[in-house]
Amino acid sequence: MSELNYVMAFITKNGLPINDFSGNQEWLMVKHKTRGWELPGGKIQRGEGFEEAIIREVFEEAGITPYVREGPYEYEGGLVFWMGASSDSNMHLKSSNDPIISEINWFNTPPKNLAWGLVELQNIIDLFK
């Protein structure tokens, strides 16, 4: 599994959203200063386990401690985890510890200025069905 380059978190308050976004399920995204809105995640550090890496990345980027609901699943050279966060985290998002992240927010429809396309977000949701 050394070819895996990154970990990414799909963090929801409750269940999974419908991939046409017609429901009211919410998921967390971070706004990268140059790329736009994306799911939290990043590189796996040397000697770090995958779950360890995603928990660290989410904490650095969003200031919350998540837990794994399902996964990981391989996706385009990395791993995607479906994660949850404590109810306290859901209500009290802070500013990011990562200087490249300018905003953190919950969404129930895709925001404008996605770092990558809508199809990718839909494909990630479909990994967990």
Biggest CA pair distance of the chain:
41
Does residue 1 fall inside a structural domain?
no
Pick the more confident residue, 110 or 1.
110
pLDDT of residue 96: 79
- Look at the chain and report how many structural domains it folds into: 1
pLDDT band at 1 (very low <50, low <70, confident <90, very high): very low
Domain for residue 65, yes or no?
yes
Running DSSP on this structure, what letter comes out for residue 110? P
Q: Is residue 74 a part of any domain in this protein?
A: yes
Does residue 34 fall inside a structural domain? yes
Classify residue 95: in a domain, yes or no.
Answer: yes
Q: Is 36 left (phi over 0), alpha (psi -120 to 50) or beta?
A: left
pLDDT tens, position by position, 59-83: 999 988 899 999 999 999 999 999 9
Structural domain includes residue 20:
yes
Name the residue range of residue 61's domain: 6-127
Residue 46, domain member (yes or no) = yes
* pTM of the entire predicted model: 0.90
pLDDT tens by residue, 15-24: 899 989 998 8
- CATH assignment at residue 29: 3.90.79.10
In a domain, 93, yes or no: yes
